[in-house]
Amino acid sequence: MAYPGRSGPRPAPPPSAPQECAIKAASPPKGAPAGAVTDVAVELRGITKRFPGVVANHDIDITVRRGTVHALVGENGAGKSTLMKILYGMQRPDEGTIAIDGETVELHSPADAISRGVGMVHQHFMLADNFTVLENVVLGAEKLHGIAGRARARIKEISDAYGLGVRPDVLVEDLGVADRQRVEILKVLYRGARTLILDEPTAVLVPQEVDALFDNLRELKSEGLTVLFISHKLGEVLSVADDITVIRRGTTVASVVPSETNPRQLAELMVGSELPSPETRESTVTDTDLLVVDALRLTATDVDGVERAVLDDIDFAIRKGEVLGIAGVEGNGQAELVEAIMGMRDPDAGTITLDGADISHAPTRKRREDGIGYIPEDRHRHGLLLEAPLWENRILGHVTEEPNSRAGLLNPAAARRDTERIVAEYDVRTPGIEVTAASLSGGNQQKLIVGREMSHHPKLLIAAHPTRGVDVGAQAQIWDQIRAARRDGLAVLLISADLDELIGLSDTLRVMYRGRLVADADPATITPEELGSAMTGAASGHLEGPADDGTGAATGTGAGAATGTGAATGAATGAGTEAGTATGGEGR
């Protein structure tokens, strides 16, 4: 491979030989962050970013060595993307400093970041379909190498140097996803970037494409470029990264090197160890079915105009005093299930029975009046009126019920009084009930929602990701409230991406995959890793044979996450069930 000199505003760093073997071999232990300044490509210190009502990032410290692939891992909503937007100049931090190549910088816009050699490849590509690759690459960077011959030569040069295989004159609309991604990478390199940020680059790729991408990344690295790689797929991260920084709830909780960690440890760091351990508790489950869902089917038309089943043959029952947890990779039908039970989507077949009454096609308001409480997945879109004061938010969803109204007329005085009560009882930290919901932090917004829903003594509580984006204190509180209500005979449908939460709270677990409930598990015996395998469909296949040890099974989870999209539903169903039952013997 030829190594053409890169023409950048700054001299290219000398290629450092040891990096070549850094993938497999143990990296030198990190400890002195401000050690050799020239070795550090990017340094973030004490970054804090507040959004209306949420602290997206606080006290972030990251040191990225030059010529490495540095992975940033964390759960959805942990604050990874916000952090990268800060580094790319799309957001400005409220506190903290960014240093690029040892120099403290203020980034006001992506253009600033690019001029400092930081480029970003977004999760959603930003390409004009009806333009050629060449045109897309030069768009907005016409001054660098013109728009014709010189630009084409430069593109070829970069493409060859890093083995990207980009053809300059093809229309982007004729390219596949992986090719488009390479065009995006090339676009960034063309602009002289020496540090690349890749936001969840593997989310859209099939496994072979992931391997090809990783080869590209290693190529970039060997050329002395630095890659910041955002992901929550642990298997991938361990295979490609030199350093890993774990982000949880908006802050950096650990920096590790792949050789000294394992997926299990990473997973624990990601979700946090203060989560409840799955211990046997006193069961409050009764014999009375409260919610019965029978052969529920829901179809939706996707973007290609093809009608497909998003929920297929869903059967389950929740008894009074029972928490039924639904595990699953997001987008496998959980949101649709919730919306069908809430009446926001009309099922095509099947029945939903609440406390003996058929509510399959009842309007949402009737269902709420009949005693369904709802903690929505996206509280900003479905749970709150952000620009309305707290007391109006207390009315939302229960406008027909006491104390909010009587005989069609609102009772603002009573609603205000009751909001004061909720604020006090549920520890909603706010200066008053007249402030808008938007000015509260995520945790306090969630406490308000929980308080509101619990105040109407629901028979059934639908809790979708009830503690997502919520600080630790609020999280424990919300769990306690759900447990307390469960003792009083509340039935809970719990949907969560946080496996420890699912295991810790649920009495029964079901796994959802591609719109079907494919497995069930006993929360008393299953581990997050085992549950994770069942969630990805394909990975559960690995669990069929005897697993050699805990680490092996867990690595399977990570790999499965990458391949899960390609797996057939049928195979997953069988394997998933087995995974659920095989767990007991394997956890040790």
Partner 1 sequence: MKKLDKERVLLAVAAPVLALAAAFVVTALVLLATGKEPFNAFGIMFDYGVKADSQVYILNKATTYYLAGLAVAIGFRMNLFNIGVDGQYRLAAFFAAVVGGALKLPGLVQIPLILLVGMLVGAMWASIAGLLKVYRGVSEVISTIMLNSLSGIVISYLLVDGRLADLDKQTNIVATDPLPSSSHFFTIPAGGDLDPIWGFIVVAALAGAGFWFLLGRTRFGFDLRAVGRSESAAQASGVNVKRMVLTSMLLSGAMAGLIGMPTLLNDTHQFTSDFPTGIGFTGIAIALLGRNNPVGIGLAAVLWGFLERGANRLEFEDYDKEIVGVMQGVIVLCVVIAYELVRRYGLKRQQQRVGAELAAQAKADKGTDKQEVPA
Q: Determine contact, residues 520/573, Cβ cutoff 8 Å.
A: no
Whose Cβ is closer to partner 1: residue 429's or residue 457's?
429
E strands of 337-437, at which residues?
Answer: 349-354, 357-358, 372-375, 405-406, 409-410
Contact, 114 vs 107, CB < 8 A?
no
Closest CB to partner 1 among residues 60, 183 = 60
CB of 8 to partner 1, least distance (A): 34
Residue bearing tokens 């007391």:
391
Note the Cα 533 to chain centre separation in Å.
17
Smallest separation (angstroms) from partner 1 to the CB of 438: 7
Distance CA 432, CA 429 (A): 9
- Shortest Å, Cβ 163 to partner 1: 33
Shortest Å distance, C-beta 233 to partner 1: 20
Q: What are phi and psi of 381, to 5 degrees?
A: -85, -35
Report the alpha-carbon distance of residue 569 to residue 576 in Å, rounded: 10
Place of tokens 């690019």: 114
Least distance from partner 1 to the Cβ atom of residue 388, Å? 6
Distance separating alpha carbons of residues 478 and 198, to the nearest angstrom: 35
Question: Minimum distance from CB of 402 to partner 1 (Å)?
Answer: 12
Considering beta carbons, is residue 156 or 366 the nearer one to partner 1? 366
Side chain identity, residue 160: D
Instruction: State how beta strands 372-375 and 460-464 pair.
Output: parallel
Give 383 or 564: the residue with its C-beta nearer to partner 1: 383
Write out the two tokens for 270: 């990601």
CB of 30 to partner 1, least distance (A): 8
**In the complex with partner 1, which residue's Cβ is closer, 253 or 317?**
253
Of 331 and 585, the one with the shorter C-beta distance to partner 1 is 331
Q: Which of 423, 426, 437, 493 is nearest to 460 (CA)?
A: 493
**Residue 432 CB, nearest approach to partner 1 (Å):** 4
Identify the sign of the CA torsion 128, 131, 137, 143.
negative
Least distance in Å: CB of 405 to partner 1? 5
Rounded Cα distance, 308 and 443, in Å: 36
Do 242 and 68 touch, CB atoms closer than 8 A?
A: yes
**With 0-12 CB in 10 A as exposed, 13-18 as middle and 19+ as buried, what is 305?**
exposed
Strand partners, 47: 60
Judged by beta carbon, residue 161 or residue 257, the one nearer partner 1 is 257
Q: How far is the CB of 324 from partner 1 (least distance, A)?
A: 21
**Strand spans (E) along 137-261:** 195-199, 226-231, 243-248, 251-256
CA distance 39 to 558: 31
Distance CA 224, CA 14 (A): 7
Binding residues (CB under 8 A) for partner 1: these are 29, 50, 52-53, 55, 58-59, 248-249, 251, 253-257, 260-261, 265, 269, 272-274, 342-344, 363-368, 374, 376, 381-388, 392, 395-400, 405, 408-410, 412, 429-436, 438-441, 471-473
Nearest to 70 by CA among 170, 208, 160, 198: 198
Return the number of the residue (51 or 131) whose C-beta is nearest partner 1.
Answer: 51
Which is closer to partner 1, CB of 149 or CB of 431?
431
Least distance (Å) between residue 441 CB and partner 1: 5
Of the pair 256, 493, the CB lying nearest partner 1 is at 256
- Beta carbon nearer to partner 1, 390 or 559: 390
* CB of 165 vs partner 1, minimal distance in Å: 38
Return the closest-CA partner of residue 492 out of 255, 213, 290, 252.
290
Q: What is the rounded CA–CA span in Å between residue 15 and residue 422? A: 61
Question: Toward partner 1, which CB reaches closer, 168 or 383?
Answer: 383
